Chain A
């Protein structure tokens, strides 16, 4: 039984996507974090060198008799050497007057006692890091203030930053890739009990409605519990249906059997022609009733079982032989010669109860319609096509009825004198269909019906 299931996304995809989204955010945060930390760190190192350099410049200034002497030490600038030949600008002011350096270098306003001030500004269009400090120079009679500023372009710094960013990005991407793999693995792990459960359910035979007893993760307990519950109910209702059918058959058939036996017994004692005729009609009606009831119940049972075939390897020949042997007693009553020929090794994977029922119905039909002292041939073939053929020498089928005879409750116009329910061929056809086969109704060239079950 294949039923379509509506799909609303994948649990695995959903979990993995959530994890990967989280990981992406984390990777970006990591990248930004590393970069900003690196930038701060690089800035701090540039600042400390700039600061040291400016301190050495400003410390070199002396006031002697009111004149400022400034001899900038060579080391002040060499310490600022970088791999990328960053440019350096400086300016020294005394009370607002440029003593030395670039006048283009803008200075922030500083209070007298303030510490060195760092800022980022622009110089000739290039971004620079600038440090400004001030110092009070005092000699015996004078007191003056010099302010010095030192700026350095940031080529080296941005190079370093770019390098660090590249590394940070690589680390981020690596982290991302690793995390994606990890999340896929984790989801697989999380999903695997579900997959195992599905597999074990798929592998089950159609009759296996036993509860799932293998341990499952906590999260799956409600699912498995309801599944077990459902299967228990299904099992119960199936058993109830089968029991009901068997019980119904019993309830219907026992009283009918009593009535029939009485009618038959009465027939033995009645001599008058019209009474005997009436009794025979009555017996025929009883048989009609019981056969219809029986076939209806058989048909219900077959419909029930066809949905869940109990498949096993069935030897078609042996099964047919058993039925033929049993029906031989009935055939003998009409002096009908019932024969079975064909391939002893013909086997089919199918439900033996259904197959028996179908075969019995076909041979039953032949026995009913065949005249006394005729032959019924049953053949079982394995090759070229696996099939079971039942041929009789009865009236055969009417040409224009052949297509509809296997429909429910349909009986041939030439079958009126014989007892039947119109379900025999339906049962055979349904059983064939349940085994992916078909029922073919024909007439023999020499007369009589020929019914074939192809599997």
Chain B
């Protein structure tokens, strides 16, 4: 996925971009509305993350400009303001969602996913691997021709594995992906979800193998 991040706080922008890249996304970063408009005209983004208070104006101006130019790239606003009315006007102006700073990256991810799912149809995200078909945005999984209902955490876990088959993921990495950073849960909880995923994938030619001391890996028979 290709994201455009418009945020004037460089430290925060760097942190967001790095985190997004860790999740396998491509992020373009800009700090001004003028630059952002130029980026948006030349590149085709899946999603735009937009700060509201920018040095050369209000992020809402960018939103209005985007909509005036008939560009319907989904936008998630990043706001540090607390007024509910402020949030409403964001949505009125065509932002698809917003997160309030400081935000949990897991929540930002969840919101991105929700927005992309709502706007899907434009982007085809179906991944095929052996006899498994998986659409992480739509939350669709078919194993050996049979569709399987996935819970959200199972889905996110599978997405990580299926994007990099053959790569070993540590328990911590998987845990960070599935849980908010603020939860106080033992990292062993990840075993439950790996176990469930194994069960779902049982009829297929894919399997998740344990590598003692290292982590888990998606294998292809």
Contacts and interface: CB of A to CB of B under 8 A. Distances in A.
A257 B12 contact: yes
A373 interface: yes
Contacts of B38: none
A19 B103 CA distance: 73
A301 B184 contact: no
A292 to B, nearest CB: 12
A38 interface: no
Contacts of B12: 254, 257-258, 261
A298 B153 CA distance: 32
A256 interface: yes
B168 interface: no
A118 to B, nearest CB: 97
Contacts of A242: 83
Interface stretch (A51-59, A107-115, A322-330): A322-330
A287 B176 CA distance: 17
B107 A261 contact: no
Contacts of B104: 260, 264, 287
Contact of A328 (B82, B103, B114): B114
A297 B82 contact: yes
A63 to B, nearest CB: 123
Contact of B111 (A262, A329, A372): A329
Contact of A283 (B22, B83, B113, B181): B181
Contacts of B180: 333
Interface string B79-116: 01111111000000000010011111111001101100
Interface stretch (B13-21, B39-47, B54-62, B124-132): B13-21
B11 interface: yes
Given A253-B102, A280-B181, A335-B151, A264 B15 contact: yes
Contacts of A360: 84
A419 interface: yes
A298 B85 CA distance: 12
B163 interface: no
A245 interface: yes
B53 interface: yes
Given A258-B9, A258-B15, A261-B15, A357 B110 contact: no
B86 A246 contact: yes
B210 interface: no
B182 A357 contact: no
Given A280-B181, A326-B97, A328-B114, A294 B153 contact: no
Interface string B179-207: 01110100100000000000000000000
Interface string A252-292: 01101111111111011011000010011001101100100
B170 interface: yes
Contacts of B110: 329-330, 332-333
A326 B22 CA distance: 26
A261 B102 contact: yes
B50 to A, nearest CB: 14
A260 B182 CA distance: 10
Given A262-B15, A329-B114, A333-B180, A301 B101 contact: no
B152 interface: yes
B184 A417 contact: yes
Given A261-B105, A264-B181, A332-B110, A250 B81 contact: yes
B172 interface: yes
A280 B53 CA distance: 29
A123 interface: no
Contact of A298 (B22, B82, B97, B184): B82
B173 interface: yes
B100 A329 contact: no
Q: Which of A259, A297, A333, A372: most chain B Cβ within 10 A? A: A333
Given A246-B86, A268-B19, A330-B107, A335 B173 contact: no
Contacts of A245: 82-83
B100 A268 contact: no
B156 to A, nearest CB: 9
Nearest to A287: B182
A260 B85 contact: no
A94 interface: no
Given A268-B173, A276-B172, A332 B114 contact: yes
Interface in B1-16: 9, 11-12, 15-16
A395 to B, nearest CB: 14
A256 B22 CA distance: 22
A235 B104 CA distance: 37
Contact of A356 (B81, B84, B153, B181): B84
A259 B15 CA distance: 9
Contact of A257 (B19, B80, B82, B106): B80
B10 to A, nearest CB: 9
A311 to B, nearest CB: 15
Contacts of A80: none
A301 B81 CA distance: 12
B107 A263 contact: no
Contact of B152 (A250, A256, A268, A333): A333
A357 B84 CA distance: 7
A280 B172 CA distance: 12
Contacts of A326: 97
Contacts of B80: 249-250, 253-254, 257
21 contacts: A245-B83, A246-B81, A249-B82, A249-B83, A253-B80, A253-B102, A254-B12, A256-B102, A257-B9, A257-B101, A258-B12, A259-B102, A261-B16, A279-B181, A280-B182, A280-B184, A294-B82, A329-B97, A330-B107, A353-B84, A372-B153
Q: Which 7 A-B pairs have the closest CB atoms?
A: A261-B15, A257-B102, A257-B101, A249-B82, A253-B80, A260-B102, A250-B80
Interface of B: 9, 11-12, 15-16, 18-19, 22, 53, 80-86, 97, 100-107, 110-111, 113-114, 151-153, 170, 172-173, 176, 180-182, 184, 187
Interface of A: 242, 245-246, 249-250, 253-254, 256-265, 267-268, 270-271, 276, 279-280, 283-284, 286-287, 290, 294, 297-298, 301, 326, 328-330, 332-335, 353, 356-357, 360, 372-373, 417, 419
